Amino acid sequence: MTDIKHSQEYNSFRSTVSLKRIIVDEDDRKVWSLYDAGPRHVRCPLILFPPVSGTADVYFQQIQALSGKGYRVISLQYPVYWNVNEFCDGFRKLLDHLQLDKVHIFGASLGGFLAQKFTEFTHRSPRVHSLILCNAFSDTSIFQQNWTASSFWLMPAFMLKKLVMANFTAGPVDPAMADAIDFMVDRIESLSQAELAARLTLNCQNAYVEPQRVHEIPITIMDVFDQSALTQAAKEDMYKLYPTAKRAHLKTGGNFPYLCRSADVNLYFQIHLRQFHGTQYAAIDPTMIDSEELQALCPEPESVDASGEVDTQAGCSSNSDAEPAGASDGNDMLAPSESANGDSQPDEEQPDEGQPDEGQPDEGQPDEEQPTG
C-alpha cells in the first residue's frame, strides 16, 4: 500500500486545491491557512477543524469527495492562539472576512472542543448551524494537565511532539490505520514549536463547555469502537451532555477515522447535512441534489454482523436494534460494519468536545487521558 503522503489521491488534491493564507487579526503573525473547495455561492459551508496534530490537509479525502458532489468544504489550520476566547474571536473575524453568516462545523478531538466553544461563544448571535463531533470532549480536566498548560510554551518542540504522539494507537493495526498514523506523524513534523505549544495549551488549560448554550442545534457525535485516545467513560459523558444528538458509530478507525475510514466518514457527513437540503443553510449546490443521490444516502447493502451472519435488512431503518454490545441507547445513525470483503458498509439507523480526546470523568477515575490528538 502506498503511504498517504505519496499517494496519487493526495498529490492530486495538492495540485488542484490551492492553500490560502488569511490574516484577520492586528497581529500579522496570526495567519489562518485554509483549503476552500466547492461552489463559492454556497453560503453555509461545512468547515473542518483539525486535532492537535493535524493540519488543513488531513481532511483532503473529505474535501475531494464532498466538493465533487457539490458541497462547499473549508478545511482550516489555526494560527497561534493561547486561550479559547482569543481563538473564538479570531475565528469569528475569519467568518466575517469570508462573508459567511452561518456554517456547519466538523471537529476532531481538540477541533471538536473548539467547535463547541465557538458555538457557545456566539450563542447570542448564532454563527453555527450544526455540529459534527468526532472523538471530541467537553471538559479539558479529563487530561489532568491543567496545572502544566501554562508551561507548554517553554518546552522545546521535540518534547511537545513526543507528548502528542504518546497517545497514538500502539500495537498492531491494519494497513490503512498504520498509514493514517504515519501521515499524522509527518503532519506533526510540519508544525512549529509555537503552534504545538498553543494547541496543547488550548487542549489542557482549564475550560469546559456550557451545554445549555450548544444543544439546541443539530449535533452528530461520531465515535469509534476500537482503541482511541478517548476512554469509554469519556464517550458516555458526551452522550449524556447531548442526549438528543445523533450518533455515528464506526467499528474501527482509531484516532483518525477521517483518514483510514474516509468513505464511512464522508457518508456520515452527507447524512448529517442532507437535513438542510432545500433551505438557506444547505451546504450543497441545489442543482447537485437529485433523486439518485438521495437514494444513495439510504442504501440497503448486505452487511455482516458480529456473528458473521449476513444482515440483508441493513440500511436506513429507523427502528432497528443493531447497536454493538456495550453501546448505549441513543439517536443512532448508520453504523458501518465490516463486510465480507473487508470494505465498510453502512448498517442501521436507530433513533432514541491524539492525546486530546475526551469526556468528563468522575473524580478519582483511574484512567488518565493524555493531551494529544
pLDDT tens, position by position, 288-345: 887 665 555 555 444 444 444 333 333 343 333 333 333 344 566 655 544 434 444 4
Vertex 208: Cα angle to 57 and 121 (nearest 5):
70
Output the pLDDT for position 310: 36
> Given a cut of 50, is residue 112 above it in pLDDT?
yes
| CA 16 to chain CA mean position, Å | 23
The overall pTM is greater than 0.85: no
- Cβ 219 vs Cβ 119: under 8 Å: no
Report the distance separating Cα 134 and Cα 130, nearest Å: 14
Amino acid identity for residue 99 in this structure: Q
Instruction: Tell me which of 50-59, 117-126, 336-345 is least confident.
Output: 336-345
Query: Which class for 100: exposed (0-12), middle (13-18), buried (19 or more C-beta within 10 A)?
Result: middle
Q: Which residue has the higher pLDDT, 343 or 45?
A: 45
Helix-strand-coil split of the chain, %, nearest 5: 35, 15, 45
pLDDT, tens digit (0-9, with 9 covering 90-100), for 153-196: 999 999 999 888 887 867 778 889 999 999 999 999 999 999 99
Which DSSP string corresponds to 305-348? -TTS-EETT-SS-SS---PPTTPPPSEE---EEE-TTS-EEE--
Output the pLDDT for position 332: 65
Output the pLDDT for position 150: 83
- B/e letters for 167-200, b = 16+ CB within 10 Å, e = fewer, are bbbeeebeebbbbbbebbeebbeebebebbbbbb
Residue 139 grid cell = 471538559
Range with the largest mean pLDDT of 108-122, 284-298, 324-338, 359-373:
108-122
- Residue 163 φ/ψ, nearest 5 degrees: -65, -40
- Cβ 222 vs Cβ 272: under 8 Å: no
Report the distance separating Cα 128 and Cα 120, nearest Å: 9
Residue 179: strand, helix, or coil: helix
Strand boundaries in the chain, DSSP class E: 19-23, 31-37, 46-49, 73-77, 103-108, 128-134, 219-224, 246-250, 303-304, 310-311, 331-332, 336-338, 344-346
